[in-house]
Amino acid sequence: MQKFTTLKSIPAYLPIVNIDTDMIIPKQFLKTIKRTGLGKNLFFEMRYDDQGKVIDNFVLNQEPFNQSKILIAGKNFGCGSSREHAPWALLDFGITCVISSSFADIFYSNCFKNGILPIILSEDKIKEISEYANRKEEISVDLNDEKIIYGNNEVQFKIDSFKKKCLLEGLDDIALSLKKSDKIESFEKNLKEKKPWIFND
């Protein structure tokens, strides 16, 4: 997992509430267990028409928003089913930060496990920052200091300290387990000595 420290990008603004995981990545694309290749199908039903042609007026199909690393969205982002393909699709598209006034709990947790920073801000602050998307101006996200800088303004956000550490160090669940490999090996060695019958074929 890539480390997340600071991020600078022109944000893409998608002012839709209750964007669920099926809107983020529809069910027909869930057959894969690979984390790559899903970006082209992100928001599939909003980005393409029934003939598969690009819908020009959808924000992520427009320059410069098709290169955005920051997505600003309406409240309750990531609701619906708990599919982990949703953050995979965002990440594969290039989005590593989502800003909303609220997130569905499972989606919020899955973001951290995949290197995406979900930021919760008030509706008023989101409206302020969305103006920078409308003007196609960059904003900056600083995870270490937990702040967003836009123009001459900045706003603080709150992140759980453990989740913050995982993003800063690029630690997913596997990496966290590997950090404890010495303790795991020691435990298994002691268990094998005390209860060898457990390990018999």
pLDDT digits (tens, 9 = 90+) for 54-97: 999 999 999 999 999 999 999 999 999 988 999 999 999 999 99
Inter-CA distances, 199 with 79, 180, 185, 189, 196, Å: 44, 21, 14, 11, 6
Residue 126 phi/psi, 5-degree rounding, is -65, -40
124: left (phi over 0), alpha (psi -120 to 50) or beta: alpha
Q: Which amino acid is at 64?
A: P
pLDDT in tens, 146-199: 999 999 999 999 999 999 999 999 987 655 554 555 666 677 667 777 877 777
Residue 200 lies in a domain: no
Q: Is 1 inside any structural domain? A: no
Q: What is the pLDDT of residue 192?
A: 76
Within 13 Å, how many C-alpha atoms sit on residue 104's CB side? 18
* Nearest of 53, 102, 95 to residue 71 by alpha carbon: 95
Domain count across the chain: 1
Q: Is 117 contained in some domain? A: yes
Rounded CA separation 144/57 (Å)? 35
Residue 71 lies in a domain: yes
Range of the domain at 30: 6-195
Residue pair 90/98 in contact (Cβ under 8 Å)? The answer is: yes
- Domain of 82, CATH number, reads 3.20.19.10
Q: How confident is the prediction for the chain on average, in pLDDT?
A: 91
More confident residue, 182 or 7: 7
Confidence (pLDDT) at 117: 98
